[in-house]
Amino acid sequence: MATTEKKVADARHEAFVRHYLIHGNASRAYREAGYRDGLGTRQSAHRLLTSAYIQARISEERQKILAALDVKVLNVLDRLKAIAFGDAAAITEYVTGACRYCRGIEHRHQWKTHREFADAMEVYMGKGELHHAVYTPPDDKGGYGYRFSEAPHADCPECDGEGEFRVRFKDTRLMTDDERKFFVGVKQTQHGIEFKFNDQMAALKELAKRLGFYSPADDRETNVIARLILELQSRGEIERMPLRKDPEPTQ
């Protein structure tokens, strides 16, 4: 009888550890492991969680998780650092260039090439008579050779010397390793191309927590790997990054 009860207890212990590692909620893991739920569930779950045996089993399973993922603590910190201090300006640019009228002859509309003008004329000729009655056909009196890369003309009557504004994105194939850690992805939306980046403030907060800048004792949202990092730090088994206060100036 005692052997049967021990097997049941051991099975519940293992179930508790397994569920706790999934979501990190002791009370929920306690119920999911088959223990009786009631008014004292929270206290009972806490006692079980803090017992030496359960803590040892959790530590063992966390080590297995990291081994399976081939994750090293310093790799995690390095990625957080890259995200927290990533420079979005190195990936995106907001640039100003000449408008179509800045460099045109007498500030008329300037075309890039003869082909561009011919294409515009073909589109116009394909319109109906009502369109022609309202709009005049395009002309090339402003000349050719338009380049956005040229500076806006201060006397341009069309843009008041402000030019046109464009957003440029870096070719993802040319991104550095740190930029790739900071960069999430790109997608096409109804408003154009959208670049997505990791949350810098969240990464900075997580990095500060991992380095011991403030106590994360009340944080219940950290995942399994993050909690292991904290545990290793508390034991002195992880080397802190070389961040320190500047020395006081000498008199």
81-119 residue pLDDT tens? 888 888 877 888 889 999 999 999 999 999 999 999 999
Is there a domain that residue 80 lies in?
Answer: no
- Provide the pLDDT for residue 211: 66
> Does 145 share its domain with 212?
no
Q: pLDDT tens, 177-218?
A: 888 888 877 777 887 777 788 887 887 777 777 666 655 444
> Does 97 share its domain with 66?
no
Residue 58 reports pLDDT greater than 80: yes
Task: Measure the N-to-C terminal CA separation of the chain; round to a whole number of Å.
Answer: 79
Alpha helices in the chain (DSSP H): 2-23, 26-32, 41-50, 52-69, 73-84, 114-125, 129-134, 177-182, 200-210, 224-235
- Provide the pLDDT for residue 174: 86
Higher-confidence position of 15 and 229: 15
Q: Residue 244: enclosing H or E segment and its boundaries?
A: none
> Does 65 share its domain with 101?
no
> Does 121 share its domain with 152?
yes
C-alpha to C-alpha distance for 175 and 90, rounded to whole angstroms: 9
Is there a domain that residue 84 lies in?
Answer: no
Is there a domain that residue 243 lies in?
Answer: no
Q: What are phi and psi of 243, to 5 degrees?
A: -110, 125
Q: Are β-strands 192-197 and 183-189 bridged in parallel, bridged antiparallel, or unpaired?
A: antiparallel
- Provide the pLDDT for residue 125: 93
Q: Give residue 62's domain range.
A: 2-70+201-235
Residue 6's pLDDT band (boundaries 50, 70, 90)?
Answer: confident
> Does 60 share its domain with 15?
yes
- Provide the pLDDT for residue 224: 55
Domain count, the chain: 2
Q: pLDDT tens, 116-167?
A: 999 999 999 999 889 998 999 999 999 999 999 999 999 999 999 999 998 8
Is there a domain that residue 230 lies in?
Answer: yes
> Does 96 share its domain with 164?
yes
What are the tokens at 160?
């008041």
Residue 17's pLDDT band (boundaries 50, 70, 90)?
Answer: very high
> Does 162 share its domain with 100?
yes
- Provide the pLDDT for residue 75: 72
C-alpha to C-alpha distance for 58 and 81, rounded to whole angstroms: 28
Is there a domain that residue 240 lies in?
Answer: no
Is there a domain that residue 85 lies in?
Answer: no
> Does 103 share its domain with 138?
yes
Q: pLDDT tens, 31-53?
A: 999 888 888 889 999 999 999 99
Q: What are phi and psi of 123, to 5 degrees?
A: -65, -40
Is there a domain that residue 214 lies in?
Answer: yes
Residue 73's pLDDT band (boundaries 50, 70, 90)?
Answer: low
Is there a domain that residue 28 lies in?
Answer: yes
Instruction: Please state which of the ranges 1-15, 64-78, 111-125 shows the lowest mean pLDDT.
Output: 64-78
